């Protein structure tokens, strides 16, 4: 059984992880990852094979957390080169717009009229929502 191949990206107040081989993992391994993310109040996107968690940690701490949860993984750290727009308000404050759940973006489309409206519209177009 293959182990998860993870790309770990630290951010200012959070971190995101892309699961490179999600489709090759067993249901049990995927459920372990889902539980890991849910326990930390993170967001898991099956569309992009990524999850993000609102906590600032380093690679070593992330590896330790995975070990404690019995998740076998090969982890590579990457650093974001492009400055991406982040949510500056509400429950998802600090997260990248690309990490937001579709339902929240659709809510913002109808209910938000602030300075980030063009960013929201661009993300909606990219997701074809």
Tens-place pLDDT, residues 53-105: 998 888 899 999 999 989 999 999 887 555 678 888 888 888 888 888 999 99
* CA dist., res. 69 & res. 57, Å (int): 16
Whole-angstrom Cα distance, residue 124 to residue 56? 27
Domain span(s) for CATH 3.30.780 in the chain: 4-77
- Look at residue 5 and tell me whether its pLDDT is greater than 60: yes
- Right CATH number for 4-77 from 3.30.780, 3.30.450, 1.20.140, 3.40.1130? 3.30.780
Say how far apart CA 6 and CA 2 lie, in whole Å: 12
Predicted confidence at residue 78, as pLDDT, reads 84
- Has this prediction a pTM greater than 0.75? no
Contact partners, residue 90, CB within 8 Å, separation at least 6: none
The predicted pLDDT at position 10 comes to 87
In degrees and rounded to multiples of 5, residue 6 shows phi and psi of -115, 135
| Residue 115, pLDDT score | 85
The whole-chain average pLDDT of the chain stands at 88
pLDDT at 82: 53
Q: pLDDT category, 21, cuts 50, 70, 90?
A: very high
pLDDT-derived band at 28, boundaries 50, 70, 90: very high
C-beta of residue 9 within 8 angstroms of C-beta of residue 17: yes
pLDDT of 14 over the 80 cut: yes
pLDDT at 81: 54
CA 124 to chain centre: 17
């Amino acid at each position: 059984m293959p182990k998860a191949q993870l790309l770990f990206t630290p951010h200012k107040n959070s971190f995101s992880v892309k699961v490179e081989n999600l489709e090759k993992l067993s249901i049990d391994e995927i459920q372990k990852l889902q539980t890991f993310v849910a326990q930390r109040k993170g967001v898991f996107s099956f569309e992009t094979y990524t999850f993000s968690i609102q906590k600032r940690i380093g690679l070593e701490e992330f590896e330790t957390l995975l070990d404690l949860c019995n998740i076998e993984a090969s982890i590579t750290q990457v650093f974001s080169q492009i400055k991406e727009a982040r949510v500056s308000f509400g429950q998802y404050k600090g997260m990248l717009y690309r990490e937001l759940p579709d339902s929240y973006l659709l809510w913002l489309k109808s209910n938000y009229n602030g300075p980030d409206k063009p960013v929201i519209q661009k993300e909606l177009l990219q997701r074809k929502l």
